[in-house]
Structure 1
Amino acid sequence: MTALNDQLQPVVTEPSETARALAALAASLKLADVPAGVLHHAKLILRDTLGVMLGGSQLPEIRNLARLAPMLAPGKASLFGTDLTAASHVAALVNGAGGVSLELDEGNQFAVNHPGVHIIPGLWALAEEEGASGAVFLEAVIIGYEIAVRVGRATKLRGPVHPFGTHAIVGTAVGAAHLMGFDEAMTARTIELAAGLPIASSQMAANTGASVRNLFTGFTNHNGLLAPRFVRAGFCGEPGALSSVFGAILGERFALDVEPRFTEFFLTRNYFKIYACSRWNHAPIEAARDIRVTHDVKPSDIASVTVHTYDPATRLGGNTVANAYAAKHSIAFNVAVQLMHGSNDADVYTDAIVHDPAMVALIGKVAVTEDPALTALLPGVRAARVEIALTSGKTYSARSDVPIGGFDNPLPEGELRAKFRRLAALALPDEAIDNLERVVAGLETAERIEAI
């Protein structure tokens, strides 16, 4: 019986020094010590993410998934845009997928990812379930975001791997561990276990217009919430999983030096989107717009378009656009639609525009190529240069170094608020939107996170 009892003991491994250092860094943050500007910006990210979650909740596939969620796992976490609830991990899956589906979620070029929508849906759902205070929730969001950026910037992903569904899970799991009251040792175990739970995230899912790509984000929220629960149940992670998964399997390099305390907050160096497409398109869009406006270029005048950009934005090259969703991940489409329709708002991403013969012809004239000099500017600058050759023989060129919405070219807060209200209005009446704005503005004083 003794041998059998020994076999029934939980399996235990010891986390790596990197996981321990990240856990110690997470434990060092207290909301009272967070600079006022950082807290304010965290609320901007939160509000923007709530807006895209509400807007995305009205998409047919997200509404259908929300209807399934209570049957998958009943609970009291909100399914955005509905009066339904589910267990936090399932609500996180639904709301996370909805939040990324419109391609209007904020991002962070230092993470090469979109931390807000990979973290906030899950932490909001867990905070509802746990009855967490607004202050603890904000701590969890800031900690999770900052850890996610640090793991992301340490990772060089392999070419075929899409960033979504990968390293942001570590931030989600650390934020969830904070909401669950974990100490440093348990948080370190959570980090190592979470590093083993990313999914097989393919860049081609987005490029070919497959909406499974939006589930990558949903599962980061879902798996990130489950990671600390698995640790509490007695599961353990692979020692050194951070290095093996992000440095050898999903990535080709992982190099992370962890500071003892937060001296830099990357969340203030994020970007907010106004163009409803991948951020890698934004600099080409603005360079093409400048040529169109300055020189009054008409599509019928164009012989060819060359977009010079950085790697990995070149992953969005190619001239075949399968559907409206694939269009959001095509530099050729986004430059062509700017030149033909003068817009990259959500309403130009339709199958009718994608398959319009005139658009197809113009998309076919766009070539995307890497400029190593632009790649060398990463991560601080994400630039593109566009050259348009006309049938007349003239050639025009323009370059964008700082697309609108980034920390280096910020959107006015009034425009950010208008974006939030426009998206939230797809799911909520004005009174509820007003109330949500008030909740976010004073969240650090809220006794508990309540259902929307």
Structure 2
Amino acid sequence: MTHTFEKVADFTFGLQPDHLQTSTRQAAARMLLDTLGIVIGSKEMEAGRIARETAVALYSTGDPALSARLPLDGRRVSLAGAAYATATQTDNLDGHDGYNPTKGHIGVVVIPALLALAETLPDFSGPEALTAVTIGYEIAGRAGISLHDTVNDYHTSGAWNALGVVAMAARLRKMSADQLRQAMGIAEYHGPRSQMMREIANPTMLHDGSGWGAMVGLSSAILAEKGFTGAPAITIEEERVSRHWDDLGQFWQMEHQYVKPYPVCRWAHAAIDAARALVLEHSFTHRDIERVQINTFHESACLFQDMPDNTSKAQYSLPFAVATMFAYGRIGVEHITGKGLSDPLIASILERITTAEADRHNARFPQSRFADVIVTLHDGRVLVSGDVHARGGPEAPMSDQEVSTKFMEFASPVVGEKRAGLIHDAALGLVNPDSNFSDLSRLLYDIQ
């Protein structure tokens, strides 16, 4: 057993709620709330429906002790099936949090895993729930950085966030250190090392592979509980990645996640925010625009350029997202689904937008997400945004009120404003020492 794994095991099993600073606990509650908004908001989307039906068809369980209800649905499937369906559903709305150094997403598996695991355990405290969430984020984030540092291909989040799921399961199910090690090895070996840029070039419901990351993580934990073995996880135990684990328990990645203001690929957000800032500063409308030039980093410039004909393409399209911001001043579920995909107004604006790659923006990726937008108006004015960083992260944070407003915007149409308000308060209330996780979870299943 390597020193790095021992450190990971000590952190997983030894971290106590009162070890966390107030700011870390609050960040965990904030990310929980934000992710729940996307879990709820994505319920009626086609990808979520398919994932739930597939979980019922293929991933049911013969062991009631390892079954879990599907959130907002109520049907019981296996522990892993519930996490798979909920993570896939969430991934396909693409409004969940992320972490710049990992070039990917953690909460999309951590929150579905927490919901599923809670279905198999006696009730636990709110602070313990937030501690488990924090463990998931800290382990997954470092596994992601380690993977990106040691392989050439850009792999999806499911390739590494499964390890955070394993850590949460080991903590909450009181597994042994050896079982944790075996489960980490199983999860890393079977994790979906799918190539992210393939999905960018051909947008589909695959998204960031996180549904399979959640399923692999929980499946691996149960396999290890039953005695299955796995080779040590190299993203933890290989010597060349050990430096990425040195600050575990000292630097809290939990506090450095970004919140997405818009349910589209994060790579488009800097340009969206640049366009938004220009409109707010100069008070023009889409009718005034003659042409728009977007300068961004390579990965962002690779996003889909045409008018999308499905939700996945809409979420991975840079000009479509910017055109939507110019047209409506916001981007909601209605813009990336249904009639929003054939909106003639957005199509007319998109025709006036061109995209180019800029070296200075490339140099700052992935630690930062910068873009700039130049708008030429019919009256001859040229409006220049300057370099703008995507909102929502430590570089340009959203306020707590903005995060709450986002949650209500996504959750209220599905569960109603009153129910959404109760979920909102219960999620943030988990920081209270006398809270229980059931204060929140009881609100997430029966929505009648």
Is the TM-score greater than 0.5? yes
CA distance in 1, matches of 2:152, 2:327: 31
- 8 Å CA contact 2:258, 2:393 repeated in 1: yes
Q: 1:212 to 1:374 in 2, by over 3 A?
A: closer
Indicate the residue corresponding to 2:82 in structure 1: 91
Does structure 2 conserve the Cα–Cα contact (< 8 Å) formed by 1:166 and 1:199?
yes
Unaligned runs of 5+ in 1: 1-14, 248-252
User: Cα gap change, 1:311/1:24 in structure 2, threshold over 3 Å: closer, same or farther?
Assistant: farther
2:406: which partner in 1?
419
Q: Is the 8 A contact 2:391 2:397 kept in 1?
A: yes
Q: Which amino acid aligns with 1:404?
A: R
Aligned length: 431
Deviation readout 1:341-366 (Å, 9 max, x if unpaired): 43323332245444455644543443
User: Is residue 89–residue 225 contact of structure 1 (8 Å, CA) maintained in 2?
Assistant: yes
Amino acid at match of 1:150: R
Aligned to 1:233: 226
How far off its partner does 1:35 sit? 0.5
Shift of 1:307: 1.9
1:432/1:356 Cα in 2 relative to 1: closer, same or farther (>3 Å)? closer
Write the deviation string for residues 110-149 of structure 1: whole angstroms up to 9, x where unpaired. 3221211121101221122122513433222111101111
Partner of 2:31: 45
Q: Distance in 2 between matches of 1:159 and 1:210?
A: 23
- Do the aligned partners of 2:276 and 2:326 also contact (CA within 8 Å) in 1? yes
Flag structure 2 segments of 5+ consecutive residues without an equivalent: none
Could you tell me which of 434, 438, 442 is aligned with 1:445? 434
Equivalents in 2 of 1:424, 1:359: separation in Å?
25
- Paired residue for 1:347? 334
Structure 1 residues 379 and 206: alpha-carbon distance in aligned structure 2, compared to 1, 3 A threshold:
closer
Q: What SS does the corresponding residue of 1:195 show, helix, strand or coil?
A: helix
Report the alpha carbon displacement of residue 371 of structure 1 after superposing the two structures with TM: 2.3
Q: Could you tell me how far apart the structure 1 residues matched to 2:407 and 2:91 are?
A: 14
Equivalent residue letter for 1:113:
G
Alignment identity in percent? Answer: 23
TM (normalized to structure 1)?
0.83
- Measure, in 1, the Cα distance between the counterparts of 2:349 and 2:424: 42
| Secondary structure of the structure 2 residue equivalent to 1:318 | coil
The alpha-carbon deviation at position 45 of structure 1 amounts to 1.0
Q: Indicate the SS of the match to 1:387.
A: strand
Task: Note the 1:73-222 alignment, pairs <5 A.
Answer: 73-74=60-61, 75=64, 76-134=67-125, 135-156=127-148, 161=154, 163-203=156-196, 204-205=198-199, 208-213=202-207, 216-222=209-215
- The answer as to whether partners of 1:111 and 1:152 remain within 8 angstroms in 2 is yes
User: Which residue is 2:254 aligned to?
Assistant: 267
Contact 1:26 1:143 in 2 (8 A): yes
Q: Give the Cα–Cα distance (whole angstroms) in 2 for the partners of residues 54 and 312 of structure 1.
A: 29
Aligned to 1:58: 44
TM-score (norm 2): 0.84
- Matches of 1:111 and 1:96 in 2, distance apart? 18
Greater Rg over alpha carbons, structure? 1
Query: Contact between 2:268 and 2:318, CA under 8 Å: does it hold in 1?
Result: yes
Going from structure 1 to structure 2, the CA distance change for 1:372 and 1:18 (only over 3 Å counts) comes to farther
Instruction: Kindly indicate whether the alpha-carbon contact (under 8 Å) linking 1:58 and 1:81 is maintained by their aligned counterparts in 2.
Output: no
Q: What amino acid sits opposite 2:132 in the alignment?
A: A
